[in-house]
């Protein structure tokens, strides 16, 4: 049975456990969704306060209902009248006086608008940072000293913002810059590494060294031929040996740039694995520099999410799950726990199904409450540009039931959520400061 054909009952017949559909626009009622299972008598009271005389229900989605001998034809007309009354009273500009329950919804709408504005601001900052990194890498040979100064300045700004914010929000970015994959990767690894440094309460000067090493960890690739870097099929052993030399090439370049010893260690060891299976020196355990162990994890995670071939990409949830369940021995266990603690089990960019059955995409994670992210929700009755953004830390009625592969959702849902082909992250410290400053 489609919800359009759902039976209609009088408002005084409602009870906890029934699943209702509201024939109202999203901004005409105070609930997060226009369809939901009634959890409390307070919700029924709110429905009555809206002036509704009837409401449609889905018996198959609610708790086993009692028989409701209601004439669908009679109550449908009443429902139209009630909806019209509510719409006249609640559409923007229709009346200056809003009921208390509608003031709640209006506040929710304003908050979502602010979140969309924040997202655009963060996206702009991300794009600017990617462009700056692109210019830095292009000038590395021709203007080495100036380039290092600019890199240190960028990292100082990022590290200061991330380390000093009372709370830190990590947000998934869009796919606005084509052909900039290497710069996305450098910035991703840098942001994730400094995010982990924050959790470790690392001093700002050490985090600065970590950031520079993370930003420049792949500079040795400039000495590897493109025929190897761009090859899509498996490398031959000889090609593999030459590719692995990028760590050595990078150290030589970093020494000429007079980078700090910690940054040198990152460039040399960012492919060393905790179980000794990495390269180039097959270092094991704590023989690997601590800063390098952080970058190893950030680098590995980003390569799983953003491999050369998009067809091989894992979702953020899959990448973390794989690293924890099957590859755990390859990483410093403490650093792996920190990454998972900061990003949550459902990192930004993960398609999820909520406890009420709705589909959404995790867009922002607050590192202090990673299991309660903000989710952009699919709702066919809400325009994409006005999409519902649920902060699960506030909307405690909902939680994430499971992660979903993008290929498993219907095409209209996929297009609405528009999951990123590339998963890139950036941080928002200013919004967190505003949140912390609220009374």
Residues 339 and 242 in one domain: yes
Residues 32 and 175 in one domain: no
Asked whether residue 359 is domain-assigned, the answer is no
Asked whether residue 350 is domain-assigned, the answer is no
Predicted local confidence at residue 294, as pLDDT? 98
Cα–Cα dist 220/231, whole Å = 17
HEC string for 138-158: HCCCCCHHHHHHHHHHHHHHH
The whole-number average pLDDT for the span 28-39 is 86
CA 256 to chain centre: 38
Asked whether residue 410 is domain-assigned, the answer is no
The whole-number average pLDDT for the span 376-405 is 91
Residue with tokens 């209902």: 65
Do 9 and 57 contact (CB within 8 A), yes or no?
Answer: yes
Bridging pattern class, strands 35-37 and 19-21: antiparallel
38: left (phi over 0), alpha (psi -120 to 50) or beta: beta
The whole-number average pLDDT for the span 156-178 is 86
- Residue 377's SS3 state is strand
Positive or negative CA dihedral for 103, 106, 108, 110? negative
Cα–Cα dist 193/87, whole Å = 50
Predicted local confidence at residue 177, as pLDDT? 55
Q: What mean pLDDT value characterizes the chain?
A: 86
Which of 63, 97, 131 marks a domain boundary?
97
Residues 311 and 224 in one domain: yes
Tell me which residue range forms the domain holding 64. Answer: 3-97
Residues 81 and 156 in one domain: no
Residues 122 and 258 in one domain: yes
Residue 358: is its pLDDT beyond 70?
Answer: yes
What is the token pair recorded at 70?
């209601």
Cα–Cα dist 136/149, whole Å = 10
Residues 186 and 329 in one domain: yes
Q: What is the CATH number of the domain that holds 130?
A: 1.10.3210.10
- DSSP symbol at 374: E
Asked whether residue 391 is domain-assigned, the answer is no
Give the pTM: 0.82
Which of 79, 97, 115 marks a domain boundary?
97
Confidence bin at 103 (pLDDT 50/70/90): confident
Burial class (CB in 10 A: 0-12, 13-18, 19+), 225: exposed
Confidence bin at 179 (pLDDT 50/70/90): low
Predicted local confidence at residue 166, as pLDDT? 87
């Amino acid at each position: 049975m489609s919800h359009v054909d759902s039976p209609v009952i009088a408002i005084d017949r409602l009870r906890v456990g029934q699943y209702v559909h509201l024939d109202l626009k999203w901004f005409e009622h105070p609930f997060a969704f226009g369809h939901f299972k009634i959890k409390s008598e307070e919700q029924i009271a709110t429905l009555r306060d809206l002036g509704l005389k009837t409401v449609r229900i889905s018996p198959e989605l609610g708790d086993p209902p009692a028989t409701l001998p209601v004439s669908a034809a009679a109550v449908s007309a009443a429902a139209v009248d009630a909806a019209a009354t509510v719409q006249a009273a609640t559409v923007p500009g229709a009346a200056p006086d809003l009921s208390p329950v509608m003031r709640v919804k209006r506040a929710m709408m304003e908050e979502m608008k602010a979140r969309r504005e924040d997202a655009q601001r963060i996206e702009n900052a991300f794009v600017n940072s990617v462009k700056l990194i692109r210019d830095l890498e292009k000038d590395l040979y021709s203007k080495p000293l100036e380039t290092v100064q600019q890199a240190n300045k960028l990292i100082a700004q990022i590290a200061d913002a991330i380390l000093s914010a009372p709370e830190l929000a990590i947000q998934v970015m869009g796919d606005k810059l084509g052909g900039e994959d290497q710069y996305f990767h450098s910035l991703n690894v840098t942001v994730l590494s400094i995010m982990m440094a924050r959790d470790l309460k690392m001093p700002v000067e050490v985090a600065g060294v970590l950031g520079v090493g993370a930003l420049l960890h792949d500079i040795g690739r400039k000495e590897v031929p493109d025929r190897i870097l761009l090859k899509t099929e498996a490398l031959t052993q000889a090609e593999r040996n030459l590719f692995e030399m990028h760590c050595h090439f990078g150290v030589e370049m970093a020494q000429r740039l007079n980078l700090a010893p910690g940054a040198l260690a990152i460039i040399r060891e960012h492919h060393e694995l905790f179980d000794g299976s990495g390269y180039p020196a097959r270092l094991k355990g704590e023989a690997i520099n601590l800063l390098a162990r952080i970058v190893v994890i950030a680098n590995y995670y980003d390569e799983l999410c953003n491999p050369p071939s998009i067809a091989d990409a894992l979702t953020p949830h899959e990448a973390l799950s794989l690293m924890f369940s099957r590859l755990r021995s390859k990483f410093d266990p403490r650093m792996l726990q920190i990454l998972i603690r900061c990003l949550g089990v459902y990192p930004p960019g993960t398609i999820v199904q909520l406890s009420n059955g709705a589909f959404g995409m995790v867009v922002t994670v607050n590192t202090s409450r990673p299991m309660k992210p903000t989710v952009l929700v699919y709702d066919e009755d809400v325009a994409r540009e006005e999409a519902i953004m649920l902060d699960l830390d506030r909307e405690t009625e909902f939680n994430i039931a499971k992660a979903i592969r993008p290929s498993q959702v219907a095409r209209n849902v996929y297009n609405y959520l528009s999951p990123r082909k590339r998963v890139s992250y950036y941080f928002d410290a200013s919004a967190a400061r505003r949140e912390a400053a609220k009374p």
